[in-house]
């Protein structure tokens, strides 16, 4: 559907980065955008700059999300809020696992539960789930993040099945590395973090992701753009590694006794 067929949007994790860029892009299309984040100051500035409607809400606050969903019939939902605690699973903390599940997966499930049925009833709507290449490819040291993003990927596929027969479109956006401040949120506000992840690299900007989302939304009603991977040209996924064992493997005799 063109943007003229949609009136309202909900964007989570809207205070900075991709979320803020999406809010700006949708506001330029004349959409009434409701922006959700925990940072009151950043949301206030975003609202003054774009005209969006700011809501200081944690995405894990089901009651607050439900109250908003009862007040507004949303035509567009952008599930963007997310956190990360990079760590190998062998050293995972219980609190980190719970946080990633609560914010990156459970909140997405509940927000979709509260909003998508209304889209189906009205025969109109578009769900944008921001996942990650981590949901489709493996790389070291981020096991829980991979798991929850894979869950978002499967949810995106399943939503299309559950809404089959209605004009409810679902798009999964899978970014690779993007030049945003998420790396500072994860690794701390040290200049070395920017040097490690951003400086010297040719990276997509948050606005590039927002433009891709706008492209998917503005497609004709007969077109569902289901999955988009957006990575730097100079970034690839995958690779093969083979390790030598630290100690020789044990051997056993015919009776199963260790030699």
How would you class 202 by CB atoms within 10 Å of its CB: exposed for 0-12, middle for 13-18, buried for 19 or more? exposed
Any domain includes 240: no
Active-site residue set? 145
Is residue 116 within 8 A of residue 68, CB to CB? The reply is: no
Q: What pLDDT score does 8 carry?
A: 98
CATH of the domain at 41: 3.40.50.720
Q: What pLDDT score does 244 carry?
A: 80
Residues β-bridged to residue 104? none
Q: What pLDDT score does 100 carry?
A: 96
Q: For the chain, what is the domain count?
A: 1
Any domain includes 237: no
pLDDT per residue of the chain (259 residues) written in tens, 0 to 9: 568 889 999 999 999 999 999 999 999 999 999 999 999 999 999 999 999 999 999 999 999 999 999 999 999 999 999 999 888 889 899 999 999 999 999 999 999 999 999 999 999 999 999 999 999 998 877 899 999 999 999 999 999 999 999 999 999 999 998 987 766 556 556 677 677 767 888 889 999 999 999 999 999 999 999 999 999 999 888 777 778 888 887 777 777 777 7
The whole-angstrom separation of Cα 229 and Cα 104 is 18
E strand or H helix at 32, and its extent? strand 32-37
Any domain includes 251: no
Any domain includes 238: no
Any domain includes 159: yes
The whole-angstrom separation of Cα 12 and Cα 170 is 16
Any domain includes 115: yes
Any domain includes 199: yes
- Which range of residues forms the domain containing residue 129? 3-230
Any domain includes 191: yes
């Amino acid at each position: 559907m063109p943007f003229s067929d949609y009136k309202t949007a909900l964007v989570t994790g809207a205070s900075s980065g991709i979320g803020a860029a999406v809010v700006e892009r949708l506001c330029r299309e004349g959409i009434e955008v409701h922006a959700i984040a925990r940072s009151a100051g950043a949301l206030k500035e975003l609202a003054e700059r774009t005209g969006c409607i700011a809501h200081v809400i944690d995405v894990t606050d089901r009651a607050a999300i439900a109250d908003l969903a009862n007040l507004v019939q949303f035509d567009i939902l952008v599930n963007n809020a997310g956190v990360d605690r990079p760590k190998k699973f062998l050293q995972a903390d219980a609190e980190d696992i719970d946080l990633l599940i609560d914010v990156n997966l459970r909140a997405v499930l509940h927000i979709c539960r509260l909003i998508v049925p209304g889209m189906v009833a009205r025969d109109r709507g578009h769900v944008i789930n921001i996942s990650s290449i981590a949901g489709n490819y493996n790389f070291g040291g981020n096991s829980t993040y991979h798991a929850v993003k894979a869950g978002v990927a499967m949810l995106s596929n399943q939503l299309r099945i559950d809404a089959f027969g209605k004009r409810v479109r679902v798009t999964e956006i899978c970014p690779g590395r993007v030049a945003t401040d998420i790396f500072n949120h994860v690794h701390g506000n040290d200049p070395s973090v920017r040097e490690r992840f951003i400086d010297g690299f040719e990276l997509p900007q948050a606005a590039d992701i927002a433009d891709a989302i706008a492209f998917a939304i503005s497609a004709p009603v007969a077109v569902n753009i289901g999955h988009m991977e957006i990575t730097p040209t100079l970034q690839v996924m995958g690779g093969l590694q083979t390790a030598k064992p630290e100690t020789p493997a044990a051997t056993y005799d015919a009776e199963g006794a260790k030699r």
